[in-house]
Structure 1
Amino acid sequence: MSMARKVIITCAITGSIHTPSMSPYLPVTPDEIAEQAIAAAKAGAAILHLHARNPEDGRPAFDPAAYRRFLPRIHAATDAVINITTGGAVSMTLDERLAAAIDVSAEMASCNMGSLNFAVFPILDKLKTFKHEWEREYIEGTRRAIFRNTFADIEEVFARLGQAHGTRFEFEYYDVGHLYNLKHFVDRGLVKGPIFLQFVLGILGGIGADPENLVHMKRIADKLFGETYQWSVLGAGRNQMPLITQAALMGGNVRVGLEDSLSIGPGKLATSNAEQVEMIRDLLLRLGYEIATPAEARAMLGLKGRDNTRL
């Protein structure tokens, strides 16, 4: 492994997991999302993974109009790759989850590679007061919800977004079996390289945030896809920095952001997405790696380019 290799930093700005009561720094309004995204790009993030929120109460939103309140501003201010979620929130239909990415003919979008019990309800053991009443019911609802991503759902994502718009995907894997799901689609000719795998560790309902699990997932990915893929790691909560550092040392790329973790250290809330980007960027540089620019990330991932979107 060359110590001068390029590492792609992805920053997931807000997500749909955390709620406003969990951190005063979680961006929810269009201005907050745009400002934090632009700052994260300036700090070194080549890819910005984006969800929308209702600015009145921070509830996850899917309407393309909600995205268009901040996407053009981000697109104008930075050349970072804009990666639109197709995961949305557990409560959304597939049509709702796809709407924004289709609307802007996204350069990149997330694609979840299997169904799972996506649970955050244990947070209620610690979080007792709420800024908005919807938060309690939303969090409790994950006790009985299934994050649905059937084979038919995934095929629809490929057809309506990948084939129709030339969008490429950040394939998200919450367990080892999800890697085999992608291999199924590769074997059918529905997915071609370069492939970008995002290993997600530490979500209750998915694979645990153990270093051994990351090694195992990488081993299985090597077995299934050889050397034809790029990969990155998302560590949930307090597992964020340890796991992504391990990923970098193993030859992977990294993902940070307030969607994945609200902290910057034990017992300390991150005050912005850029703060997390700066931390991992500085660590990577100290380890002898180089930070991939947006143009380099586009080349590594075979993206269609920002000028081929509807932004």
Structure 2
Amino acid sequence: MARKPRTIITCAITGAIHTPTMSDALPWTCEQIAGQALAASEAGASILHLHARNPENGAPSVDPVDFAPFLARIRQASDAVVNISTGGSLSLSIQDRIRPAMTFSPEMCSMNMGSMNFSFHPLAARYSEWKFDWEKTYVENSEASIFRNTFRDIREAATSLAPHGTKFEHECYDISHLYNLKFCMDTGLFKAPVFIQFVLGILGGIGADVENLVFMKRTADKLFGDDYRWSVLAAGASQIPMATTASQMGGHVRVGLEDSLFITRGKLAESNAQQVTKIRRIVEELGNEIASPDEAREILGLKGGDRVGF
């Protein structure tokens, strides 16, 4: 009997978009981030995509001091692959954003493959009261933000992290980002096979529909042939439908409260683990098996959990 396809589930635990007011389930203290990450791992996520938060008010943080406590606990209690974001915050320099990855030398980190008008300002109109003073202004100001990822920024991140043997999750928010990645590969910045995360449904990027996913996949096939592995994340209500479609197209999937606060339309998720459990059930019922952390390491060519710095 042929072996069933293996699907990697990534869970993005907290991110830098949603704020504490938007959901009581969103983790922002070190204890909450660690606890939800471990629960997501137990539910079937083999990769944990991690941001940090200020433990006093939940604001996005790139301070390694805010990463250290939950990284240590995750390492102690789980064999999941840790993926540290280099997205950080829209207003920070690339030097600030790569500092956590430089400090902790994870198996993976994210790499955004182009600049864009990454905005979530419409969320501000949904709330009349906020838990913390910083939240409303932060959300509203994303309307005027450019998420900067120039070719120089990408080169600086790639060359700075190259000695760490860290594999990149290349986040591509539009077709042009695939061409940017191809250029960077042709100039020697990244070696095959690369791991591409198709990002759908972010305001400022490509929309979350099946036609766009097929277009992204077809373009990646043309540019990279067999030299890439891929996954899909979709924002908001599109999260589970697009992940389901990706799993049946041969791709991997990402869920988590960074990308959507909901478990179904109009109903807030209780936790990251609840989203992982849902997509795992769907993927398994459709005939795939969920990749273990070690299987994910093999599929993606990772350096191994014994070579991290935390």
Return the TM-score normalized by structure 1. 0.98
Give the secondary structure class of the aligned counterpart of 1:254: strand
- The within-5 A match list for 1:255-274 is 255-274=254-273
Letter in 2 for 1:70: F
Q: Provide the C-alpha distance between the structure 2 equivalents of 1:89 and 1:219, rounded to a whole number of angstroms.
A: 31
Letter in 1 for 2:127: L
Q: Provide the C-alpha distance between the structure 1 equivalents of 2:28 and 2:163, rounded to a whole number of angstroms.
A: 30
| 1:89-126 Cα shifts (integer Å, max 9, x gaps) | 10222121111111011110000000000000011222
State the partner residue of 1:169: 168
Which range moves more in the overlay, 90-99 or 238-247?
A: 90-99
- Give, in angstroms, the shift of residue 3 of structure 1: 7.3
Q: Provide the C-alpha distance between the structure 2 equivalents of 1:50 and 1:270, rounded to a whole number of angstroms.
A: 18
Structure 1 contact 114–150 (Cα < 8 Å) conserved: yes
Return the TM-score normalized by structure 2. 0.98
- Give, in angstroms, the shift of residue 128 of structure 1: 1.9
State the partner residue of 1:19: 19
Moved over 4 A (4+): none
- The within-5 A match list for 1:144-155 is 144-155=144-155
Letter in 1 for 2:121: F
Give the secondary structure class of the aligned counterpart of 2:98: helix
| 1:213-251 Cα shifts (integer Å, max 9, x gaps) | 001000000000012211000010111001111101111
Say whether 1:133 aligns with 2:133: yes
Q: Provide the C-alpha distance between the structure 1 equivalents of 2:164 and 2:266, rounded to a whole number of angstroms.
A: 43
State the partner residue of 2:67: 67
> Any stretches of 5+ residues in structure 1 without a counterpart?
none
Give the secondary structure class of the aligned counterpart of 1:184: helix
State the partner residue of 1:109: 109
Say whether 1:233 aligns with 2:232: yes
| Number of residue pairs matched by the alignment | 309
State the partner residue of 2:197: 198
State the partner residue of 2:95: 95
Letter in 2 for 1:181: N
Q: Provide the C-alpha distance between the structure 2 equivalents of 1:302 and 1:22, rounded to a whole number of angstroms.
A: 37
Tell me the C-alpha RMSD between the 2 structures. 0.9
Structure 1 contact 12–255 (Cα < 8 Å) conserved: yes
State the partner residue of 1:28: 28
State the partner residue of 1:55: 55
- Give, in angstroms, the shift of residue 69 of structure 1: 1.6
Letter in 1 for 2:187: R
Give the secondary structure class of the aligned counterpart of 2:180: helix
